[in-house]
């Protein structure tokens, strides 16, 4: 219980509902590490009219957040000496480091091109040239290499006195980069950070008027998602509770049945929650959302009891009423559980939780009706019940219509089947995202100023030691070069860009040595055009020899130097294994990247969005087949009870409802995802119940019709509210159920009209012979 | 005449306390800005002379430039070797020979960024940008005006001894003197503000 109050048993990360992609465990663990690190990044953008004000506001923000313990790293101002030491760090190794285009030119022997490029560097009005640099590096290969390390995307981002600044005509923006200490999905972190940020926003607008704060990262989305889910839990919970209460009062003119029904539901929910907690150790927020809609299902048993009671006279004992509905609700429970067990078989963590919650909850509610109701005397006002009369009227419509009604239904089904042809699948990651326009807008504002777009795809590289790792990376990057060239990949960031492998370093030096051969005209030409000192060539030769004697630049040296600070996350190695990540930006062709990683030793391509799409589409298919299997199992169960014809008429109700639901989705141009198919399973469970209730009642009885109508109304109340969810998945689920259940209710008399039970309407209340 | 009298006042104020000195600074920059004709588009020819102590002789180049306010500078070197640069805040693009430009992002190289902004500010006569980093001093000029700027921050003062800007209606000369003795001078002439639109070739550079 203490865990419950601390909020640690309720999980809000939607992705934990999904199974892990099939991948080697070590690779998957490494990929998770990269994802988690990325998820923890949080960018703040403080904007103001003047740079000074923006800086002050950024400092204020950092001051008021850094003592919270929520951040592993948060700094408004960078140590600037870091960047200026970049040059001095690489300086001793300058003849071993070549930018990719320079390396290409020299390797291909295009010395004239190389010469023209050197000349261009001298003619650049902003060359940053000085005598010291030229004395040490007359070909300016070091500035060329350093420039190649900068990200390629055009960006206005600059470092001003240590502040990451973007200057626009009338506004200055300061970026503060943070790294959260724990997952952005931790509800505890969300609560604390959200309230702190709200305070800071208020303080900023008070102390620094005109400043704005915008956030980018996973955190704002996760926090907005939690708030939305929480709101949905309470809206769905309270909304359906109020709706059901109103319905009870109208129909039964007494609150007594409502309290009993509420008790039944509460017993169900507590049972489901407790067992879930015991089995899984935690309950997902989404399970609670779906669980809240359990109200709509378990209340059916209570409803059935009270409607039966309404149809019987006052003298009937509670025990008799329970006996009369027992077979109906028991069969209903069994078929519902069969439906949920179908989900349970699927290796889908989130669905399993929901299936357990629902099965246990329903069983508890059933027990409540069967055990508790008979011992409690209940009386409800009976005279002139309007609801019962309306139900009788709808019942007569079916009984009179007879076969004609059936033809109308057949026509409806044909139209629905046609509309189903319009259905399009959606297996996108977006299904699980809450669409919060405000959060989205802030994020886009920051990203557009940042000008960087890190792809969710990346490569993982593994090797036994650092040298082998760097070589593997270089091989991979060489093969990626054509993609970089034709623009299907904008840029990549890799360790070997900062520290070439030892082999490549000596290769680079040998490439420079080619410029010293007697045939090479490079130095004579540069002495002529630029005015390099006469002894430039000899000086360069001896500098090359000198560099050869000294050891190459090692990854170790780079990793321990402050210059690697912004890129150290690329290194994932441990003591016994070298590993790294190659991050990408501007990915246009995922398949090409996948193909390049294919069959390569120690290289894995990870595409999280692709993983999810694959998971969604494969589970959409699996769930679809599971649904069919469930329908078959339920049908067999019904055959055992009602015979072939009876089973056909009962199963016709959920089948027709499912067809109408999907047809309507087709008409509404709603995409079909896993979550619509999941809803079909529930339509089966509930629709079969309706059929059974009619079959057991042996005719279109007003009491049955009323019970089914109320059950449908309560379910629709609950799921109708889910369809208003801002999360696509919940919306799809809710909408499918909304339509499916409404259709199941309207079509439920089918089970009494198609192949009517042989015992006919001897005990039926409405008393009309079927045609 | 008005400029001159104001400059006299300013010179007088230079010996006044620091607070006032700062206003005088503002006025100096403002005066320069006021004198300059701000055009959306300005074309001129340039001569660049880079005097580096290590080189046998100054490195000279010349060509044409297009200054587009708020966008950047297109720098077309014709002599001694055809090469084009597009300089804008954040990056320099270089066209050498055929094909796509080489993009040199400068965000991560502070000194480079500083240099670019200084260059853009000096050519466009953008006083605000210069005012942040420099203290101004008015020098005598035969015609027009001449300002000597010295860096405010120690960081910059370690590299740059002075930046002189001279001109009349347009910036005609920029001279950057480094602490270690290297220097670069730009001369601009043949100014024209017509046509007011970029031609197709120029457009293709700016569109990158």
Phi-psi region of A233 (alpha: psi -120 to 50; beta: other; left: phi over 0): alpha
Q: How far apart are CA A739 and CA A716, in angstroms?
A: 8
Q: Strand A454-463 vs strand B83-88: parallel, antiparallel, or unpaired? A: unpaired
Chain A residues close to B154, C-beta within 8 Å: none
To the nearest whole angstrom, how far is the Cα of B168 from the nearest Cα of chain A? 22
Residues ≥6 apart with Cβ < 8 Å to A645: A755
Which residues are A45's β-sheet partners? Answer: A175, A214
Q: Reply yes or no: is the peptide bond before residue B80 cis, omega within 30 of 0.
A: yes
The closest of B123, B81, B86, B78 to B104, measured between CA atoms, is B86
Smallest Cβ–Cβ distance between A155 and the set B77, B94, B105 belongs to: B105
Residues ≥6 apart with Cβ < 8 Å to A718: A236, A239, A240, A292, A293, A295, A296
SS3 category, B24: helix
Q: Reply yes or no: is the peptide bond before residue A605 cis, omega within 30 of 0.
A: no
Residues ≥6 apart with Cβ < 8 Å to A307: A703, A704, A706, A707, A710
Q: Are A244 and A717 a contacting pair, CB within 8 Å? A: yes
Query: Could you identify the residue written with the tokens 């004395």?
Result: A135
The beta strands (E) that lie in B5-82 are given as 41-51, 59-68, 72-79
Which residues are B173's β-sheet partners? Answer: B166, B187
For B166, the enclosing helix (H) or strand (E) is: strand B160-167
The whole-number pLDDT of residue A499 equals 93
| Whether A647 contacts chain B with CB within 8 A | no
Q: How far apart are CA B171 and CA B149, in angstroms?
A: 14
| Whether A149 contacts chain B with CB within 8 A | yes
H helices present in A435-561, as ranges: 437-450, 466-486, 495-498, 502-513, 522-529, 536-549, 555-560
Query: Could you identify the residue written with the tokens 């390396």?
Result: A103
Q: How far apart are CA A230 and CA A289, in angstroms?
A: 8
Q: Cβ–Cβ of B111/A128 closer than 8 Å?
A: yes
Q: How far apart are CA A172 and CA A166, in angstroms?
A: 6
Q: How far apart are CA A683 and CA A738, in angstroms?
A: 9
Q: How far apart are CA A202 and CA A246, in angstroms?
A: 42
Q: How far apart are CA B117 and CA B43, in angstroms?
A: 19
Residues ≥6 apart with Cβ < 8 Å to B153: B133
Chain A residues close to B92, C-beta within 8 Å: 124, 126
Of all residues in chain A, the one with the smallest CA distance to B183 is: A130
Q: Are A757 and A647 a contacting pair, CB within 8 Å? A: no
Q: Are A140 and A10 a contacting pair, CB within 8 Å? A: no
Residues ≥6 apart with Cβ < 8 Å to A190: A12, A184, A219, A222, A223, A226
| Whether B180 contacts chain A with CB within 8 A | yes
Of all residues in chain A, the one with the smallest CA distance to B47 is: A125
Residues ≥6 apart with Cβ < 8 Å to A729: A14, A431, A432, A673, A674, A675
Q: Cβ–Cβ of B116/A119 closer than 8 Å?
A: no
Q: How far apart are CA A328 and CA A336, in angstroms?
A: 12
Q: Are A581 and A459 a contacting pair, CB within 8 Å? A: yes
Would you say the C-alpha torsion A511, A515, A516, A518 has a positive or negative sign? positive
Distances, alpha carbon A738 to alpha carbons A297, A633, A658, A748, A749, in Å: 13, 24, 11, 15, 19
Q: Are A83 and A149 a contacting pair, CB within 8 Å? A: no
Burial A489-502 (b: 16+ CB within 10 A, else e): bbbbbbbbbbbbbb
Dihedral Cα A750, A754, A759, A763, nearest 10 deg: 30
For A262, the enclosing helix (H) or strand (E) is: helix A256-280
Of all residues in chain A, the one with the smallest CA distance to B52 is: A131
| Whether A126 contacts chain B with CB within 8 A | yes
Q: Are B134 and B153 a contacting pair, CB within 8 Å? A: no
Of all residues in chain B, the one with the smallest CA distance to A125 is: B48
Q: Cβ–Cβ of B85/A125 closer than 8 Å?
A: yes
Q: How far apart are CA B70 and CA A591, in angstroms?
A: 41
Concatenated DSSP letters for A164-203? Answer: EEEE-SS-EEEEEEEEESS-TT-HHHHHHHHHHHHHHHHH
Concatenated DSSP letters for A18-48? Answer: SPPPS--HHHHHHHHHHHHHHHHEEEEEEEE
Which residues, given as ranges, of chain A have pLDDT below 70?
1-23, 79-84, 127, 151-160, 285-286, 289-296, 313-315, 339, 342-348, 377-385, 401-403, 427-435, 451-454, 698-700, 753-771
| Whether B7 contacts chain A with CB within 8 A | no
> What backbone torsions phi and psi does residue A532 show, to the nearest 5 degrees?
-60, 150
Query: Could you identify the residue written with the tokens 């082999």?
Result: A503
Q: What is the DSSP letter of A672?
A: B
Q: How far apart are CA A345 and CA A342, in angstroms?
A: 6
Which residues are B103's β-sheet partners? Answer: B93
| Whether A169 contacts chain B with CB within 8 A | yes
| Whether B178 contacts chain A with CB within 8 A | yes
Q: How far is CA A687 from the centre of its chain?
A: 31
Query: Could you identify the residue written with the tokens 């959409």?
Result: A620
The closest of A519, A525, A533 to A117, measured between CA atoms, is A525
Q: Are A120 and A129 a contacting pair, CB within 8 Å? A: no
SS3 category, A324: helix
Smallest Cβ–Cβ distance between A120 and the set B96, B111, B181 belongs to: B96
| Whether B48 contacts chain A with CB within 8 A | yes
pLDDT in tens, chain B (208 residues): 333 333 333 333 333 333 334 556 677 777 777 777 766 788 899 999 988 888 888 989 999 998 887 778 888 999 888 889 888 766 788 888 777 777 776 554 555 666 677 777 777 766 666 777 788 888 877 778 888 888 887 777 887 888 888 888 888 888 988 888 888 899 998 888 888 788 888 888 887 7
| Whether B206 contacts chain A with CB within 8 A | no
Which residues are A454's β-sheet partners? Answer: A585
To the nearest whole angstrom, how far is the Cα of A144 from the nearest Cα of chain B? 9
Q: Which of residues 52-71 of B touch A (CB under 8 A)?
A: 52-59, 61, 70
The whole-number pLDDT of residue A507 equals 92
The whole-number pLDDT of residue B64 equals 92
To the nearest whole angstrom, how far is the Cα of B116 from the nearest Cα of chain A? 7
The closest of B79, B106, B81 to B96, measured between CA atoms, is B81
Q: Are B114 and B126 a contacting pair, CB within 8 Å? A: no
Q: How far apart are CA A36 and CA A217, in angstroms?
A: 12
Q: What is the DSSP letter of A158?
A: E
Query: Could you identify the residue written with the tokens 């259940």?
Result: A741
User: Structure tokens of A249?
Assistant: 């009062």
Smallest Cβ–Cβ distance between A150 and the set B59, B107, B119 belongs to: B107
List own/partner pairs for A197-203 with CB under 8 A and 24 or more apart. Answer: A199/A64, A200/A60, A200/A61, A200/A64, A200/A65, A203/A60, A203/A64
């Amino acid at each position: 219980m203490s865990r419950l109050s601390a909020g640690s048993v309720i999980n809000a990360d939607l992705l934990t509902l999904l199974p892990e992609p099939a991948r080697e465990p070590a690779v998957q663990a490494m990929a998770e590490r990269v994802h988690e690190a990325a998820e923890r990044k949080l960018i703040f953008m403080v904007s103001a009219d003047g740079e000074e004000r923006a800086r002050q506001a950024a400092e204020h923000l950092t001051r008021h957040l850094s003592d919270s313990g929520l951040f592993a790293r948060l700094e408004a101002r960078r140590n600037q000496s870091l960047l200026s030491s970049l040059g001095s760090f690489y300086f001793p190794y300058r003849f071993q480091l070549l930018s990719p285009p320079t390396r290409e030119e020299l390797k291909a022997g295009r010395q004239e091109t190389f010469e023209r490029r050197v000349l261009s560097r001298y003619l650049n009005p902003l060359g940053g040239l000085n005598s010291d640099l030229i004395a040490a590096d007359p070909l300016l290969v070091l500035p060329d290499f350093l420039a190649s390390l900068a990200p390629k995307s055009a960006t206005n981002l600059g470092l001003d006195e240590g502040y990451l600044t973007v200057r626009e005509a009338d506004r200055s923006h300061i970026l503060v980069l943070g790294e959260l200490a724990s997952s952005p999905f931790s509800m505890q972190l969300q609560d604390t950070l959200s309230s702190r940020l709200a305070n800071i926003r208020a303080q900023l607008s008070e102390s620094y008027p005109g400043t704005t704060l915008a956030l980018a990262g996973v955190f704002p989305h996760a926090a907005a998602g939690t708030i939305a889910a929480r709101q949905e839990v309470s809206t769905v919970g309270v909304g359906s509770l109020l709706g059901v209460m109103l319905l009870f009062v109208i129909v039964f003119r007494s609150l007594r049945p409502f309290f009993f029904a509420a008790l039944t539901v509460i017993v169900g929910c507590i049972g489901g929650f407790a067992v879930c907690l015991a089995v899984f150790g935690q309950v997902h927020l989404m399970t609670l959302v779906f669980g809240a809609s359990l109200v709509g299902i378990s209340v059916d048993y209570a409803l059935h009891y009270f409607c039966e009671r309404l149809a019987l006279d006052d003298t009937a004992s509670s025990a008799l009423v329970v006996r009369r509905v027992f077979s109906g609700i028991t069969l209903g429970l069994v078929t519902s559980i069969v439906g949920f067990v179908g989900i349970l078989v699927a290796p889908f963590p989130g669905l399993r939780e929901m299936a357990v919650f629902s099965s246990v909850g329903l069983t508890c509610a059933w027990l409540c009706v069967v055990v508790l109701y008979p011992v409690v005397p209940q009386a409800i006002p009976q005279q002139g019940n309007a609801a019962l009369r309306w139900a009788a009227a709808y019942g007569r419509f079916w009984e009179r219509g007879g076969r004609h009604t059936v033809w109308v239904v057949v026509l409806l089904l044909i139209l629905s089947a046609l509309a189903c042809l319009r259905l399009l699948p959606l297996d996108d990651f977006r299904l699980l995202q809450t669409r919060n326009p405000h959060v989205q807008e802030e994020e886009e504002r920051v990203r557009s100023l940042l000008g960087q777009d890190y792809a969710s795809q990346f490569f993982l590289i593994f090797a036994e030691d650092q040298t082998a790792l760097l070589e593997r990376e270089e091989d991979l990057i060489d093969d990626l070069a054509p993609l970089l060239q034709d623009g299907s990949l904008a840029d990549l960031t890799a360790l070997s860009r900062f520290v070439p492998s030892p082999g490549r370093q000596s290769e680079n030096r040998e490439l420079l040595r080619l410029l010293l051969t007697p045939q090479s005209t490079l130095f004579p030409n540069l002495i002529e055009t630029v005015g390099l000192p006469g002894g430039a060539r000899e000086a360069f030769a001896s500098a090359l020899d000198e560099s050869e004697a000294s050891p190459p630049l090692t990854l170790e040296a780079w990793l321990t130097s402050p210059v690697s600070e912004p890129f150290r996350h690329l290194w994932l190695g441990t003591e016994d294994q070298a590993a790294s990540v190659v991050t990408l930006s501007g990915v246009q062709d995922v398949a090409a990247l996948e193909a390049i990683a294919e069959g390569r030793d120690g290289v894995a391509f990870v595409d999280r969005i692709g993983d999810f799409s694959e998971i969604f589409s494969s589970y959409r298919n699996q769930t679809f087949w599971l649904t069919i299997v469930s329908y078959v199992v339920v049908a067999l169960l019904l055959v055992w009870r009602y015979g072939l014809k009876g089973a056909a008429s009962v199963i016709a109700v959920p089948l027709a409802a499912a067809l109408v639901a999907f047809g309507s989705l087709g008409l509404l141009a709603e995409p079909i995802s896993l979550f619509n198919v999941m809803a079909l399973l529930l339509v089966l469970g509930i629709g079969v119940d309706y059929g059974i209730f009619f079959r057991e009642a042996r005719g279109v009885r007003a009491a049955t019709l009323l019970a089914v109508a109320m059950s449908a109304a309560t379910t629709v109340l609950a799921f109708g509210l889910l369809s208003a969810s801002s999360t696509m998945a919940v919306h799809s689920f809710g909408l499918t159920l909304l339509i499916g259940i409404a259709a199941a209710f309207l079509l439920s008399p089918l089970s009494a009209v198609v192949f009517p039970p042989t015992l006919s309407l001897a005990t039926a209340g409405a008393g009309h012979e079927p045609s | 005449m008005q400029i001159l009298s104001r400059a006299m006042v300013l010179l007088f104020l230079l010996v006044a306390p620091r607070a006032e000195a700062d206003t005088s600074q503002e006025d100096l920059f403002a005066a320069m800005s006021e004198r300059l004709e701000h055009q959306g588009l300005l074309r001129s020819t340039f001569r660049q002379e880079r005097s580096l102590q290590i080189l046998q002789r100054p490195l000279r180049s010349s060509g044409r430039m297009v200054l587009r306010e708020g966008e950047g500078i297109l720098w077309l070197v014709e002599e001694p070797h055809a090469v084009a640069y597009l300089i804008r805040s954040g990056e320099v693009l270089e066209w050498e020979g055929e094909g796509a430009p080489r993009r040199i992002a400068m965000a991560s190289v502070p000194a480079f960024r500083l240099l670019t902004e200084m260059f853009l500010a000096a050519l466009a006569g953008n006083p605000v940008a210069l005012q942040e980093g420099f203290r101004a001093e008015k020098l005598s000029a035969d015609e027009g005006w001449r300002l000597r700027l010295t860096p405010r921050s120690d960081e910059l003062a370690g590299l740059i001894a002075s930046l002189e800007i001279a001109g009349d209606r347009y910036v005609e000369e920029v001279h950057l003197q480094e602490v270690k003795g290297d220097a670069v001078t730009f001369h601009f002439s043949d100014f024209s503000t017509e046509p007011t639109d970029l031609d197709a070739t120029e457009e293709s550079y700016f569109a990158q």
